[in-house]
Amino acid sequence: MRGSAKDDTTNSCSTVGTVDNITIVAIVHNAKGEPVRNKFQACYFCGESQSHLARHLERRHKTEVQVAQLIAGDKGARAMRITHLRNLGNFKHNTKVMEEKSGVLIVAKRSKGRKPHEYIPCTHCLAMYVECELWRHVKSCPFRPRIADNVLPSHRDVVGEGKMLLFGAERNNDPVMDIDPDLKAAVIDHLRSGTVLDVVIKDALILRFGSAMLRKSGPTKTKLIAQRMRQIARVKIEVSNKNPSLASLSLIELLAPEYFDDVINAVKSICQSRISGDGQRVMSKPSLALQIGQSIVKCCNLKKGLGIRRSDTVLTKAAEQFLVLHKAEWTDEVSSTALASMKIKKNYTVAELPSTSDLVKLKEYCKKRISELTEKLNSGCDKYDVWRELAEVVMARLVAFNKRRGSEPAKLLLSDVVNRPSWIAGANPEVFSTLQPVEKKLMERSVKD
pLDDT, one tens digit for every residue, the chain (449 residues): 444 444 443 333 445 555 568 888 888 878 888 878 788 899 998 989 888 898 999 889 988 888 888 877 777 788 888 899 999 999 999 988 988 888 999 999 887 778 888 899 999 999 999 988 898 898 889 888 876 556 677 887 888 888 888 887 775 555 444 688 899 889 988 888 789 998 998 899 999 999 999 998 888 889 999 999 999 999 999 999 999 999 999 999 999 999 999 999 999 999 999 998 888 899 999 999 999 999 999 999 999 999 988 888 899 999 999 999 999 999 999 999 999 999 988 888 877 788 889 888 998 999 999 999 999 888 888 788 888 899 889 888 888 776 667 777 777 787 887 887 776 677 777 887 888 888 888 777 665 54
Q: How far apart are CA 281 and CA 30, in angstroms?
A: 66
Same domain, 261 and 370: no
Rg (CA), the chain: 28
Q: How far apart are CA 93 and CA 98, in angstroms?
A: 9
Q: Which amino acid, one-letter code, is at 195? A: T
What integer pLDDT is reported at residue 18 of this predicted model? Answer: 54
- Domain limits at 140? 4-163
Angle between helices 313-330 and 260-270 (to 10 degrees): 50
* Phi, psi dihedral angles at 129 (to 5 degrees): -130, 160
What integer pLDDT is reported at residue 17 of this predicted model? Answer: 52
**Residue 98 within any structural domain of the chain:** yes
Q: Is 276 exposed, middle or buried (0-12, 13-18, 19+ CB in 10 A)?
A: exposed
DSSP secondary structure letter of residue 23: E
**CA distances in angstroms from 113 to 14, 23, 127, 197, listed in the order given:** 13, 12, 19, 46
**Residue 250 within any structural domain of the chain:** yes
Same domain, 342 and 365: no
Same domain, 302 and 387: no
What integer pLDDT is reported at residue 72 of this predicted model? Answer: 79
Domain count, the chain: 3
**Residue 399 within any structural domain of the chain:** yes
**Residue 72 within any structural domain of the chain:** yes
Q: Is 283 exposed, middle or buried (0-12, 13-18, 19+ CB in 10 A)?
A: buried
Please report which helix (H) or strand (E) contains residue 182, including its range. helix 181-186
Same domain, 207 and 144: no
What integer pLDDT is reported at residue 404 of this predicted model? Answer: 64
* Cut 0.85: pTM above it: no
Same domain, 156 and 304: no
Q: Which residue among 132, 163, 194 closes a domain?
A: 163
What integer pLDDT is reported at residue 150 of this predicted model? Answer: 60
**Residue 5: strand pairing partners:** 49
Q: Which residue among 135, 163, 191 closes a domain?
A: 163
Same domain, 129 and 193: no
Same domain, 125 and 227: no
Q: How far apart are CA 246 and CA 314, in angstroms?
A: 19
Q: How far apart are CA 441 and CA 435, in angstroms?
A: 10
**Residue 170 within any structural domain of the chain:** no
Q: How far apart are CA 173 and CA 168, in angstroms?
A: 7
What integer pLDDT is reported at residue 172 of this predicted model? Answer: 54
Same domain, 299 and 362: no
**Residue 168 within any structural domain of the chain:** no
Same domain, 11 and 140: yes
**Residue 113 within any structural domain of the chain:** yes
**Residue 169 within any structural domain of the chain:** no
Same domain, 251 and 400: no
Same domain, 437 and 319: no
Same domain, 186 and 326: yes
